[in-house]
Amino acid sequence: MDRLVKTQKYTFAFSPYEFVLESGEKLGPITVAYETYGTLNQRGDNAVLILHALTGSAHAAGYHTPGDREPGWWDPLIGPGKVIDTNRYFVVCSNVLGSCYGTTGPASINPRTGKPYGMDFPTVTIRDMVRVQKRLLDHLGVKHLIAVIGGSMGGMQALEWAVTYPGYMDCVIPIATSAQLTPQCIAFNAVQREAIMQDPDWCGGDYYPGPGPVRGLALARMIGMITYKSDELWNRRFGRDFGGPDEKCFDFSGRFEIENYLHYQGDKLVKRFDANCYIYLAKAMDLHDIARGYDSLEEALRRIRSIVICIGISSDILFPPYLLRQLVEDLLFLGKRAKYVELKSSHGHDAFLVEFERLGAILRQFFLAIEAVAV
């Protein structure tokens, strides 16, 4: 795999409102930003689809330019000879519908007005994201997927793939996620959206071309970061260390190191992400429910034909491991092929973006099994 990669784009639904969303609203044209690694075989059946989390992008592996300090967000797992071996597999990762990294979203230009959509952008769902990804794979000539893999919001998409397109993939690997978003997660998202919307600079979503609700978006990220880690990690990394002279501890301008870290993460996100996109993607997560449109969750699960490998994270407080354990129990009860594996880590929800060696070991055994069957 070339270490320097280029994000490509695919645009479809050129006629106004050609693509019908789950809400019934129509959207078009739609541009999808994506990256591919490896080569698609003549049968079009050696592809692996990688799905990103809330503020992720299509840049899963490699470097964009020689000056890049950091590779793609899953680079340790994707490449020649790596767990997701690009000598064997054609790997695809696309930016989701509603995001701001090249795929159509609230920050994109509305063809009707010539201005960014803002809050005129229609509400999108995880299922809408998956249907757009299917259009991209059709465009690329992919006939069948070896595996669909994603963590957090990416895991939601993986489960939606299994239900919406049964038989299209051999294996689905959702990580640190759930079949339906829990009330606790909805509550966290609601507070984060409120932080953005209460910022005077949000302007009802019509803040372009200005910087927008910088303080609100930073605060939303700070709230989110609290849920992405674990108590054990916070204690080990920061403890009660104070980030300044001791006498400043009585001053409200003084901060503990954990406070400095949260502010740093908030400021970092503001430099790379759009506030309206954050609002829309958090709403899409709230609406995540693979049973929507079916009589029950059981009916939705009965549609699944692929192997489902659920990976929970031991210290995850956002998506506690019991959520995926229960899903696997439900699938096994229905006679489906499913397995639960737990990633032991103190990194909390973010472990799937940090614990590459441990996660790689888990994924490797399943890819070896897939390869053995193929032989």
Higher per-residue confidence, 327 vs 253 = 327
pLDDT of 36: 98
For residues 167 and 315, state if they share a domain.
yes
pLDDT of 165: 98
Q: Is residue 313 part of a domain?
A: yes
pLDDT of 369: 80
Confidence of residue 373 (pLDDT cuts 50, 70, 90): low
Confidence check: pLDDT of 107 > 50: yes
Mean pLDDT of the region 45-58: 98
Q: With CA atoms as reference, report the closest residue to 29 among 20, 18, 40.
A: 18
Mean pLDDT of the chain: 95
Stated length of the chain? 375
The structural domain count of the chain equals 2
Give the separation between CA 178 and CA 290, rounded to whole angstroms. Answer: 9
Query: Residue 82 CB: number of other CB atoms within 10 A?
Result: 19
pLDDT of 245: 73
Which domain-ending residue is among 282, 310, 334?
A: 282
For residues 22 and 101, state if they share a domain.
yes
For residues 47 and 102, state if they share a domain.
yes
Which domain-ending residue is among 282, 313, 346?
A: 282
**pLDDT tens digit sequence for 342-370:** 999 999 999 999 999 999 999 999 988 87
Give the separation between CA 89 and CA 91, rounded to whole angstroms. Answer: 6
Q: Residue 111: CB partners within 8 Å, gap ≥ 6?
A: 16, 29
Q: Which of 316, 345, 347, 350 is catalytic?
A: 316
Confidence of residue 372 (pLDDT cuts 50, 70, 90): low
Give the separation between CA 60 and CA 33, rounded to whole angstroms. Answer: 12
Domain boundaries, position 216: 186-282
Q: Is residue 2 part of a domain?
A: no
Q: Which of 152, 230, 315, 346 is catalytic?
A: 152
Q: Which neighbouring-strand residues pair with 149?
A: 50, 173
314 is catalytic: no
**pLDDT tens digit sequence for 269-302:** 999 999 999 999 999 999 999 999 999 999 999 9
Mean pLDDT of the region 202-211: 96
Q: What is the 3-state secondary structure (H, E, C) of 245-303?
A: CHHHHHCCCCCEHHHHHHHHHHHHHHCCCCHHHHHHHHHHHHCCECCCCCCCHHHHHHC
pLDDT of 248: 75
pLDDT of 253: 79
178 is catalytic: no
Confidence check: pLDDT of 69 > 50: yes
pLDDT of 280: 98
Confidence check: pLDDT of 371 > 90: no
Higher per-residue confidence, 133 vs 14 = 133
Q: What angle do CA 170, 7, 220 make, to 5 degrees?
A: 85
Mean pLDDT of the region 145-152: 98
Confidence check: pLDDT of 55 > 60: yes
Confidence of residue 254 (pLDDT cuts 50, 70, 90): confident
Lookup result for tokens 């910088």: 214
Q: Is residue 328 part of a domain?
A: yes
Q: Please tell me the least confidently modeled range out of 12-21, 71-80, 84-93, 271-280.
A: 12-21
Q: Which of 178, 345, 349, 350 is catalytic?
A: 349
**pLDDT tens digit sequence for 298-349:** 999 999 999 999 999 999 999 999 999 999 999 999 999 999 999 999 999 9
Q: Please give the single-letter amino acid code of residue 106.
A: P
316 is catalytic: yes
To the nearest whole percent, how much of the chain has pLDDT over 90?
88
pLDDT of 90: 98
Confidence of residue 375 (pLDDT cuts 50, 70, 90): very low
Give the separation between CA 373 and CA 362, rounded to whole angstroms. Answer: 18
Give the separation between CA 68 and CA 21, rounded to whole angstroms. Answer: 36
Residue pair 59/73 in contact by the 8 Å Cβ criterion: yes
Higher per-residue confidence, 88 vs 14 = 88
CATH of the domain at 142: 3.40.50.1820
Mean pLDDT of the region 180-205: 98
Confidence check: pLDDT of 194 > 70: yes
For residues 45 and 102, state if they share a domain.
yes
Q: Is residue 1 part of a domain?
A: no
Mean pLDDT of the region 141-159: 98
Q: Is residue 224 part of a domain?
A: yes
Q: Chain-centre distance of CA 331, in angstroms?
A: 23
Confidence check: pLDDT of 1 > 60: no
Classify residue 42 as exposed, middle or buried by CB count within 10 Å of its CB (0-12, 13-18, 19+): exposed
For residues 358 and 252, state if they share a domain.
no
**pLDDT tens digit sequence for 228-243:** 999 999 999 999 988 8
pLDDT of 212: 97
For 192, the token pair is 């984060």
Which domain-ending residue is among 262, 282, 302?
A: 282
For residues 190 and 149, state if they share a domain.
no
Give the separation between CA 74 and CA 163, rounded to whole angstroms. Answer: 25
